[in-house]
A and B are shown apart, each in its own frame.
Chain A
C-alpha cells in the first residue's frame, strides 16, 4: 500500500510537471499573447510596454519564467496578470459553486444512470429497455450547453420557474442554492446518465452470463438476491472507478461550458475567462488542480477497486 502510494505520487509529480510545462509553453507561443501589452494599458507606448516586461520578468528566458511562476504557484503567492489578485485565493472562492455542481450532478447521474442501466438490463430486449436505450443515446448525443440553453430558455425565460443563472451559497440560502443549481445539475447529468446507463447495462448483461451467477441460481437464491448480491455487486465495481474519474474531471473544470451557460462563477468559468484573457497563472493553476484531482482520484479509485474486488492487487 505504501509502495503503491509512493509510486503513484512519483508518477503524479511527473505528470503534473509535464502538464504545467505544456500549459506554460502553449501560452508562450500564442501570437499576440504578450501579457505586457495588455498590462501596459490602452495606447501605451513601446517604452511603457518594455517597462512592464522588465518589471514582470517577461524579458527573461522561458525556463526562468517557468521556474519562477511554478515557485510562486507552490508557495501560493502567484497573482493573475489581468487583475493582479492572488490566483489561489480566487480558486478557493470559485470552488463552492463547482463542488456544488459536481456533487449534485454526480449524485443525480449516478442514481439515474444505475437505475436506468439496471432496469434496461433486466428487461433487455423488451419495450422498456428499448425506450431507455433511446433515452440514454439521446442523452449521450446532446451537448450539455445546448441542453442548458434550452432549459434556461423554457424554464427560465418562458415559464419563469427557475432563476436565470448565478450561484447562491448553500449556507446563505439553501432553497435558493437548490433552485439555482437544479438546471445546471440536469444539464450536466444527462449525458453522464446516458453513458452510465449504457455501461451498466452491458456490465450487468455480461455478469449475468457468468458461471457464478448460474451457481447462485443453482443455490436456489431468489432472483432479487441473485441480482443484488451477485450481479450488481460485481457489475457496479467498474462504475465506481468511472464515477471517480468523471467526478474529478468535473471538479477540475470539466464543466466549463455548463458553468459559463449558467454563470456559476466556478473554477471552470474562471479558467475559461482566464484563457480568454490569456492570463497564464490562473490557467496554469486550474490545469494543475484538475490534473491533480484526476490523478489523486485515480489513485483513490484504484484503492477502492482493490477493496471492492479482492482479486485486484495494487500495482503500478
Chain B
C-alpha cells in the first residue's frame, strides 16, 4: 500500500466571481521514501492540492470531491478532530515563505515545542524544548541551543526555513508536503536546503510531496514528477523520463523554456555610455553602525552592449541601480553618462539625463500605479517629451505594439493584466521616453519560466531594433548568461569579477564566482534556474 493515495481529487472554491475549479480530477500515489515533485506554473492548482491534503482549504470554503488516503486513512472525509491528530503528527507541511509562516511574536523553540506537546501530551515543556534544540541542530542550525530563544525576524531566510523543517519533522511524520520550500531563498542556500531534504529522505523513509514551479529544483531531488496545468494533471512519470523524453506538449514547452539560451555572439562595442568610478554608498544603521551597501564599484556600460550584473541578495545590486538612476545619492565616487558627470545632477540636467536613461523594475505589480490605466501610464513619458496631447493615445498604442501587446490593453488597469503583460507595459513605459540605455532590475524574476523566455526575447529584439544599451541586474546566472555581452559578479557591495560572458562562465577567476556557478550547475547538461 502506498503512503498517500489520491484518486480523482477535485477542489473548487466559491469566489465573488462564482465557483472556481482549482483542481480537477487529480490522481496519484506516493510511496515511503519517495520524492514526488508536483510541477506547474503559477495558478496551476499545485499548492491547492497540498493544502487540501492537509485539510487547510476547508476554512477557505473549498468543496472537495474524489478521495485521498494517508496510510489507508481517509483525509477528505475525516472529522476535524481526526484530521488534527494527523496534521503535524503523521503529515507535515513546509511553506514557501518562512518569515510569514512563523509566528512573529513567539520564540522559534517555543513554536517547535508547541507542536510536539500538541501531539505528545506526556512530554513536558522542558523536554519538548530539549527536543526542539535537537531538531534544530539536526536541521543544520548552528548554535541551536541559543537560537531556540530567537524570534523569527532575528534569523536569516535560510535559518527560518530550517526552523520550519525542524518543526515539520518534530513528530517524525510519514508524509512531508513541501510547498515551494526554496523559492524565497538564495541559490547557495537553496542548494543546502535541498541537500538537507535529500539526506532526510534517506534517513527516515519519509515520503515527500515536493511542490514547485522550478524544473531545475525538480531535477535535483525528484524520483517521480507530476506536471500540472490549469488544475489538471497532464503528465506523470519517472523524473528521468519526464525530463528527457516528455510526452505531453505542455511539458515539452515547459522544458524548452528552461533550455539554455545560446550565448550571444560578442559584439563590437562602442564608446562608454555609462560609467561609475569608485562608487560607494553607506547607510546608517542605528546609532553608530554603518552598512557599506556599495564599496568602490567601477563599471562601464558601453554603447549597444548588455552588461549583466549578478549577485545574491544583499550584494548591492539594487543600490547600484538606484545610484545609476539617481534615486540614491552615492557617498563617494562619480557617475558619468555620455561623458557628463551626473553624480550631482539636478533639475533640468537631471531631467534630460533621465529621459535617456530609463529603468525597468523587478516587480511589475508594484511599479505600475494600480489606480491608473495603461494609457495614462504610458502617456507620462510622452508628456515629458512634449508630444501633443492629441497624439498620446496613438503613440501609446504604438508602444504597446512594439512590446507585443495590443491597442485594447490601453484601457486596462494593471490588475487586469497578467504578470508578463505587466512587465511588457513596464518596458513600454521605459521606451516612451525614447531612451539610449535601459537599466533592468531583475526584469524577469517574478515571471513563470515560459513567460520569462518571451520577455527576454522581447528585450533582445528591442535592443537589436533600437540599438539600446542594457544594464541588466539579476540574481539568476542563467538569465544573465543568455543575454549579456559581459558579466559583473557582485558580493557584499563589491564587484569581484568582470569579464566577457563566455570567459566568465567557462573559467571563473574568483572563488565566489565558482561557488555561485557550482551551486546552480550541479548536474552537467541539466540547466537549472531559480526565481
Asked if A and B touch directly (CB within 8 angstroms), the answer is: yes
**A233, chain B: closest CB distance, angstroms:** 6
Task: Contact check, B105 vs A237: say whether CB atoms are below 8 A apart.
Answer: yes
Does chain B have a CB within 8 A of A216?
yes
Nearest to A223 among chain B residues (CB) is B80
Could you say which residues of chain B place their CB within 8 Å of the CB of A222? Answer: 84, 118
Could you say which residues of chain A place their CB within 8 Å of the CB of B84? Answer: 220-222
Task: Contact check, A214 vs B95: say whether CB atoms are below 8 A apart.
Answer: yes
Could you say which residues of chain B place their CB within 8 Å of the CB of A225? Answer: 118
Task: Contact check, A220 vs B115: say whether CB atoms are below 8 A apart.
Answer: yes
- The residues in A between 188 and 227 inclusive whose CB is less than 8 angstroms from any CB of B are 210-212, 214-223, 225
Could you say which residues of chain A place their CB within 8 Å of the CB of B153? Answer: 310-311
Task: Contact check, A234 vs B89: say whether CB atoms are below 8 A apart.
Answer: no
Task: Contact check, A211 vs B115: say whether CB atoms are below 8 A apart.
Answer: no
Could you say which residues of chain B place their CB within 8 Å of the CB of A219? Answer: 87-88, 92, 114-115, 118, 167
Q: CA separation between A225 and B151, bound complex, in Å?
A: 20
Task: Contact check, A211 vs B97: say whether CB atoms are below 8 A apart.
Answer: yes
Does chain B have a CB within 8 A of A275?
no
Does chain A have a CB within 8 A of B266?
no
- Complex A-B: 21 CB contacts under 8 Å: A212-B104, A216-B103, A217-B87, A218-B54, A218-B56, A218-B95, A220-B84, A220-B85, A220-B86, A220-B89, A220-B119, A221-B84, A221-B114, A221-B115, A222-B84, A223-B80, A229-B114, A234-B103, A308-B105, A309-B104, A310-B105
**A26, chain B: closest CB distance, angstroms:** 40
Does chain B have a CB within 8 A of A230?
yes
Task: Contact check, A218 vs B104: say whether CB atoms are below 8 A apart.
Answer: no
- The residues in B between 99 and 120 inclusive whose CB is less than 8 angstroms from any CB of A are 100-106, 114-115, 118-119
Which residue of the partner chain, among B59, B80, B95, B118, contacts A211 with CB atoms under 8 Å? Answer: B95
Cβ-Cβ contact count across A and B, 8 Å cutoff: 78
Q: Other than A212-B100, A234-B105, give 12 A-B pairs with Cβ distance below 8 A.
A: A212-B103, A218-B88, A218-B95, A219-B118, A219-B167, A220-B115, A223-B80, A229-B114, A308-B105, A309-B105, A310-B105, A311-B104
Q: CA separation between A237 and B105, bound complex, in Å?
A: 10
Could you say which residues of chain B place their CB within 8 Å of the CB of A308? Answer: 105
Could you say which residues of chain A place their CB within 8 Å of the CB of B56? Answer: 214, 217-218
Q: CA separation between A234 and B80, bound complex, in Å?
A: 24
Nearest to B88 among chain A residues (CB) is A220
**A312, chain B: closest CB distance, angstroms:** 10
**A241, chain B: closest CB distance, angstroms:** 14
Nearest to B107 among chain A residues (CB) is A310
Could you say which residues of chain B place their CB within 8 Å of the CB of A215? Answer: 95, 101-103, 164
Q: CA separation between A178 and B375, bound complex, in Å?
A: 67
Does chain A have a CB within 8 A of B93?
yes
